[in-house]
Amino acid sequence: MKRKKQSWITLAVGLTMAALFLTSAVQAETVVTLWSHWADHETKVNFVETAAKNFEAKNPGVKVKITWYQKKALYSALKVALSAGKAPDIFYTEVNQTEYIDNNFLLALDDLITWENIEPWARDSWAFNGKTYGFPLETQTVELYYNKDLLNKLGLKLPADAQFDQAGFTDLVKKASAEGITPLAQGVGDRPYPGHYMTYQTLLKKLGKEDYGKLLAGKLSYKDPRVMETLTWIKELIDAGLYPKSFATVKLGESHRYFYLKPGAVMIAMGSWYSTRAFNPPEKGGQPEDFPLGVMQFPKPDSAACPNCKTAAVGGSYSVNAATKHPELAAGLLNEMATVEMGSRWLTEVLVQGGVKGDPSKITGKYKPYFEELMARNEGTEVFIGLPHQLAQGQCRDALIQIMNVAFPAGLIPVQDAAAQMDAACYKP
């Protein structure tokens, strides 16, 4: 009887110890949550998930939970979650989303990130009031891609400097339209920016960096003669059929397919992250394997102050929730991406420019010629940092999106009215 009682006591103690051990093990696992855009970008998903696995391996007891979204769905989910205090530790951000900073939703990262492996200008893009609020993973230059075969079909040859002058570009647009070919595949059905690429890249070249910056800052009028001259020329191109007739409804992904599949276009203006979609396998929406892709410079307007000027910007980034309970771990996950090794991996696998320093010489294979051409187009350029819709704020940003991104390129508003409305919303003499 005594032995039986002792065996029950031993069993009870054993079960209690096992329960405590299991409870302790469960409690020991810390979960770091990340919500991100790029649900349909396989290479970006692989990059982030690789960093997460490496981080977990170095931090036993820590689990990274990633939720992938399309951009609109992500923004809707974040709006609700941040207001309710239930947002993830890390989430996808873009530099124009200053409302996150204004509402104290983001943690300053200055003392948490290994910044020596980050491009300085990319970090500076995330600097607000002397603090850095974003980890700049994706960067871009604004490029003008073209179909080499279609250009040849029109009987045109790219100039030696890869840049048509104003008359040459006008001729290109008119010849393409006459042949029933869309000159520039573009659409604004689901984004606030593709429609302004052509207009503002031309304005940058016409005005030069300093005065272009003043225009975007509301310190130069849209009625400035140089601005009006440029807008008048762009309107001439629009009237000649520059954009698709479905411009207002074509979505971003559709504009890619419009360019390299059906119906086909001579050019597409896009951030250099174009390759992240176009270099997917054809069965996943990428361009055909033998597509004759080229990169030209945006055209040089007459009397251009800076014909070699180009816009660069930070795209997809990650920020840390100011309310996170795990700031060091969240930053640690981002630092797992902030190495030259991972920067090189971003280049070779994601096939797009990045804010993390990498080694371009590591790029090999069938896309090597593309990157060589892209680097050639960026050699010797003067870079202006920031896209118009990222730099504009408040009613000026709203006007830019509604007028210069949609109404003006769609041919719905004349030059004088566009300039007047932009001045009313932006100009502060």
Segments of the chain with pLDDT less than 70: 1-28
**Structure-token pair, residue 126:** 């995330």
pLDDT given at position 28: 58
CA distances from 90 to 37, 48, 66, 110 (A): 12, 12, 9, 16
CA distances from 204 to 133, 255, 296 (A): 28, 24, 16
CA distances from 299 to 143, 183, 281, 311, 427 (A): 11, 13, 31, 14, 27
Tell me which DSSP letter residue 350 carries.
I
Q: Comparing C-alpha atoms, which of 342, 323, 421 is closest to residue 114?
A: 342
Query: Count of CB atoms within 10 A of residue 412's CB?
Result: 13
**Residue 166 to residue 92: CA distance in whole angstroms:** 39
Which residues, listed in sequence order, are joined to residue 265 by a DSSP beta bridge? 182
pLDDT given at position 260: 97
Residue 316 phi, psi dihedral angles, 5° rounding = -60, 130
**Structure-token pair, residue 230:** 């440029």
Residue 165 phi, psi dihedral angles, 5° rounding = -80, 180
Task: HSE, CB side, 13 Å, CA atoms: give it for residue 335.
Answer: 16
Task: Calculate the CA 304 to chain-centre distance.
Answer: 27
pLDDT given at position 247: 96
**Structure-token pair, residue 390:** 């990222």
pLDDT in tens, 48-107: 999 999 999 999 999 999 999 999 999 999 999 999 999 999 999 999 899 999 999 999
Residue 363 phi, psi dihedral angles, 5° rounding = -75, 125
**Residue 265 to residue 313: CA distance in whole angstroms:** 25
> Tokens 């840390």 label which residue?
320
**Residue 6 to residue 3: CA distance in whole angstroms:** 5
**Residue 410 to residue 202: CA distance in whole angstroms:** 17
* Encoded amino acid at 124, one letter: D
Residue ranges of alpha helices (H) inside 268-414 are: 274-278, 327-337, 340-345, 368-378, 388-391, 394-399
Residue ranges of alpha helices (H) inside 179-326 are: 197-207, 209-216, 225-239, 252-260, 274-278
pLDDT given at position 353: 87
Contact present, 65 and 33 (Cβ < 8 Å): yes
**Structure-token pair, residue 99:** 């409302």
Contact present, 417 and 425 (Cβ < 8 Å): no
Query: Count of CB atoms within 10 A of residue 335's CB?
Result: 18
Collapsing DSSP to helix, strand or coil, 20 comes out as helix
pTM of the model: 0.77
Q: Which residues contact 345 (CB under 8 A, 6 or more apart)?
A: 47, 50, 358
